[in-house]
Amino acid sequence: MSFDYLVVGSGLFGSTFAYEATKKGKRVKVIEKRAHIGGNIYTENIAGINVHKYGAHIFHTNDKEIWDYINQFAEFNRYTNSPIANFRGEIYNLPFNMNTFHKLWGVTTPEEAKAKIEEQRKEANIENPTNLEEQAISLVGIDIYEKLIKGYTEKQWGRKASELPAFIIKRLPVRFTYDNNYFNDRYQGIPIGGYTQIIEKMLSSEKIEVEVNKDFFANKAEYLKDYPRIVYTGMIDQFFDYQFGQLEYRSLQFETSVLEQENYQGNAVVNYTDAKIPYTRIIEHKHFEFGNQPKTVITREYPKTWEMGDEPYYPMNDTRNNEIFRQYAKLAEEQPHIIFGGRLGMYKYYDMHQVIAAALSAAKKELN
């Protein structure tokens, strides 16, 4: 069969585009270099539990259109993300709210909590913060910084907080209510049965042909010759042979174990905020869907400096990388038959609702 589009990558961007294209009668070939579809939202069933293979994914948005759109493909539950922090065995609620402040200082009213933070900010007496450590202390005081920010941030970035730039933390959300809901968005949830079914449904049309274990770069010249239009969701610097240099990422390493017990930590997400613990968090996947299976599956998440061959998870949008990206983006503009999309094609951290919005907007522009 001949195709109107080649979509490189079966993540949320590529799959949303492919789905929209078939609604306009287009035929789409999707190639995916991994052994499965779904990109980073892929969930895998282990011991009856939907395991978020590439990190915890909680869908949240304020946009009703995007919420309705994703609900076409799965029923969502009422999961509310309420992570907790473990600092040397002490448990604190996140995001920073009245429960956190009560545990830290024994305060019970918003007024007392505000006074305590203000007292610590004054004591620190930092007027012009020159690094992340000073910035965080000047915003929330020493206690929250030392117990809940310092270790986690240093593990995440692989550098001392006093050596990180202040701009990384522009503001720190502090909430003076007893509310542990991490997100402020109106809509939030987890697809009952996992995320993979969403991508399966998006790609289920007979006008779509999917091939996994197919790397675009194994046959780049032929793909470019054979397909009139291409949607490319891989790394933009790789597409252009790294001619302006490599873009940098932060990577992660996941260590997943199946445990012969029903409930390991009582919460889906526990952050470990002490620098001495090498992982940043433990995910217990069953709690995303309120599971009551006899076993449980947990994943330890270790931040890692990205090296060629590692999964590129988080773009490092600092001045150097943004400047390199700008040069690639200029080259991309000169190739109007290729749409560069998604978190790797745009070198931008996108949440799921944002990547769907970006794909819908690209599809609208291209197909109308």
Binding site for ligand FDA (CB under 6 A): 8-14, 31-34, 39-41, 55-59, 215-217, 233-234, 252, 313, 342-344, 350-353, 355
CB of 229 to ligand FDA, least distance (A): 16
User: Between residues 82 and 138, which has the closer beta carbon with respect to ligand FDA?
Assistant: 82
User: Between residues 115 and 218, which has the closer beta carbon with respect to ligand FDA?
Assistant: 218
CB of 341 to ligand FDA, least distance (A): 7
Of 34, 38, 76, 84, which is closest to residue 58 (Cα–Cα)? 76
CB of 138 to ligand FDA, least distance (A): 29
**Which ranges in the chain belong to alpha helices (H)?**
12-23, 64-71, 98-105, 110-124, 132-140, 142-144, 150-157, 196-202, 220-226, 236-239, 319-333, 342-345, 352-367
What is the distance between the alpha carbons of residues 328 and 244, in angstroms, rounded to a whole number? 7
A 10 A CB-CB count for 47 gives: 16
Q: In one letter, which amino acid is 272? A: Y
What is the distance between the alpha carbons of residues 353 and 113, in angstroms, rounded to a whole number? 34
3-state secondary structure of 197: helix
Backbone angles phi, psi at 59, to 5 degrees: -80, 130
User: Between residues 121 and 250, which has the closer beta carbon with respect to ligand FDA?
Assistant: 250
User: Between residues 247 and 352, which has the closer beta carbon with respect to ligand FDA?
Assistant: 352
Residue 304 CB contacts under 8 Å (≥ 6 apart), including other chains: 250, 251, 252, 253, 310
What is the distance between the alpha carbons of residues 197 and 299, in angstroms, rounded to a whole number? 22
Of 1, 5, 74, which is closest to residue 229 (Cα–Cα)? 5
CB of 303 to ligand FDA, least distance (A): 10
Instruction: Print burial letters for 252-277: b (CB count within 10 Å at least 16), e (below 16).
Output: bebeeeeeeeeebeebbbbbbbbeeb
CB of 246 to ligand FDA, least distance (A): 15
User: Between residues 14 and 129, which has the closer beta carbon with respect to ligand FDA?
Assistant: 14
User: Between residues 29 and 57, which has the closer beta carbon with respect to ligand FDA?
Assistant: 57
Backbone angles phi, psi at 202, to 5 degrees: -60, -35
CB of 55 to ligand FDA, least distance (A): 3
Angle of CA points 265, 195, 55, to nearest 5°: 45
Query: So which residues are the catalytic ones?
Result: 171, 175, 250, 281, 301, 349, 351
